[in-house]
Amino acid sequence: MTAIDKILNSAFVDKYSAAMAPSFDFLDTSAGAEIDVPGAPAAVSTAIQKLVTDQGHTVVGASEDQLELAVITKKTMLSWELATGIEITPTSQGSHVSVFMQNMPGRPKALLDGKKNKKAAQKLAEQIRTAV
């Protein structure tokens, strides 16, 4: 773990940095992206779980059939963690993947978070397309 990762994941940052940052709690930071990919839903789910863990994110929950995933993205220098939901549904050509992202509850919000989260959701969707 690098020095910056140690700082970002420290209890000090979790406890005090939100108090120092301006927050716009009235903002809706939710965003989403959808893609269709070839492949059975179970195989797509396995590929997605490998992708997100390889990127350092955490899968915190999954449905029994592994077609609905709850992921928390890792904290970076420019972004708090994002609450991410991934839903995989079967289609006649393979699978439909929906990615939903929003700021984690209790974290500060900024004016451009909705736009940033939309880009993050689209980027993750394209990474999923490539991984499958």
Which CATH number covers residue 65?
A: 3.30.530.50
Q: How far apart are the first and last CA of the chain?
A: 28
User: Using an 8 Å Cβ cutoff, are 71 and 129 in contact?
Assistant: no
For the chain, how many structural domains are there in total?
1
pLDDT in tens, 99-128: 999 998 878 788 888 899 999 999 999 999
Q: How far is CA 38 from the centre of its chain?
A: 22
How many residues are listed for the chain in this entry?
Answer: 132
- The Cα–Cα gap between 42 and 83 comes to 22
Q: Which domain holds residue 16?
A: 3-131
Which amino acid would we find at residue 62?
A
- The Cα–Cα gap between 85 and 99 comes to 6
pLDDT in tens, 65-112: 999 999 999 988 878 899 999 999 999 999 999 999 999 887 878 888
